[in-house]
Amino acid sequence: MMGPNAHSYCLLRARKSLPYVLRTIHQSHSKHTRDSGRRRVVVTGLGVVSPVGCNVEAAWQTILSGQSKVGRLVGETYDKLPCRVAATIDTNDIDLEKCFSKTELKTMARATAFALIAAKEALSRASWMPGVEDETACQRTGVAIGMGMVDLMDICETNEALKKGYNRVSPFFVPRILPNMPAGQLSIRYGFRGPNHAVSTACATGAHAIGDAFRFIQHGDADVMVCGGAEACISPLGIAGFCRLRALSTAFNDEPTASSRPFDERRDGFVMGEGSAIFVLEELQHALRRGAPIYGEILGYGLSGDASHLTAPREDGTGALLAMQRALADGGVTVADIGYVNAHATSTPIGDAIEARAIRTLFGEHTRSLAVSSTKGAHGHLLGAAGNLEALFVVMACRHGLLPPTVNLQNVTDDMAGLHYVANSSEPWEGKHRRRVALKNSFGFGGTNACLCIGEYSE
């Protein structure tokens, strides 16, 4: 989520720091190999509410088809803004008033509602509905769901209500805007009494939530975790704020489906999206004992900080490098084992190029057998729900052996050459790897980075 005209860095500093980072990467990988005795964590449920579809099959088929679901923002308030495109939920797919009572909707933000709908699908797919009477199962099931941003319009409207009188302020105002409420509402609804965790790390939120849940299970804090992220902050104020950062696409207002174009030479900023994707993660033996479906496995999790700038990544790409390397080391795999990288690439001039550089640097000669894509061309950038939605597509790619494409990728500039980009249409996952294994990158404002190592399930 990086603005194209953000702060630029000293290239000399970048050149000096990169060899040190690469040495550290090598040393770290040799020291921290995967402990084969630790608890394995598998994916047993998936659910989604997104611009590309509001169930897993529909969303996956839209992604494979190479369609963009970005549309025009309609309304007088949007007409005055530089960016007038976004990827929104189709109301024909999801009508919140049919999913929840009026009383329930008063208590929750739109993002929370999306998370609850996606969680219902994920839990159904996982066949995990223990019920409050099953005390042990509920105590061993936790929740880790985050939001990147609260509903800015809710805050503005409540402020206007306060001007008319104290009693005009809803008693549910504060609960609606707390970032932990998707997790809280889900926990209450299903009686889950394991870890109740919320992440809010800008556009790395969804990936961090999955990674944290993965570690909760590994460390024995839970047997099952319901995790992911949710976002619903498309509004005139939200669009205006990102426009002032010069982060959004403004060149394709008359051609919305062409506006989100990761890695393409005509990219000029990201496109906001909304929705939620929820995972059910489970300790392997727990899943096998109850005959749960297994969609894939979380192998590793890496985190890092750029410690550099509020909105732009380090120019040398070391923040992304460290996150990817740590995910590999945590998963006990090497660059030679990876066949696909699902990039964070948001369609910004600076961010996409730096991530491409980091991938090339890390994989070296192995880039020849590596595929790279970003699905944001189809669904835009879901901010706090980006990493989890895209991780869902990685799980599906590992499961089905199909690589999701980057929509609107026509020409790659010289600074991003040297990688095999899956462009515009899906491709079969080919290669000599014994097992399909991928990396999923997510980066956020404040220099926060996450990387998940995801693989197809193997006994």
Active site residues: 203
Beta bridge partners of 72: 85
Q: Which of 82, 17, 435, 358 shows the shortest CA–CA distance to 244? A: 82
Task: HSE, CB side, 13 Å, CA atoms: give it for residue 399.
Answer: 18
Residue 88's region, left for phi above 0, alpha for psi from -120 to 50, else beta, is beta
Residue 223 identity: D
Please state, in angstroms and rounded to a whole number, the distance separating the CA atoms of residues 58 and 206.
21
Q: Which of 310, 140, 122, 153 shows the shortest CA–CA distance to 237? A: 153
Please state, in angstroms and rounded to a whole number, the distance separating the CA atoms of residues 415 and 2.
17
Residue 412 identity: V
**Which DSSP symbol is given to 332?**
T
Beta carbons of 228 and 50 less than 8 angstroms apart: no
Please state, in angstroms and rounded to a whole number, the distance separating the CA atoms of residues 238 and 256.
18
Please state, in angstroms and rounded to a whole number, the distance separating the CA atoms of residues 395 and 411.
28
Please state, in angstroms and rounded to a whole number, the distance separating the CA atoms of residues 17 and 54.
44
Q: In 3-state terms, what secondary structure has residue 374?
A: coil
Strand locations in 175-329 (E): 196-197, 224-231, 275-283, 296-305
Q: Which of 354, 399, 353, 396 shows the shortest CA–CA distance to 375? A: 396
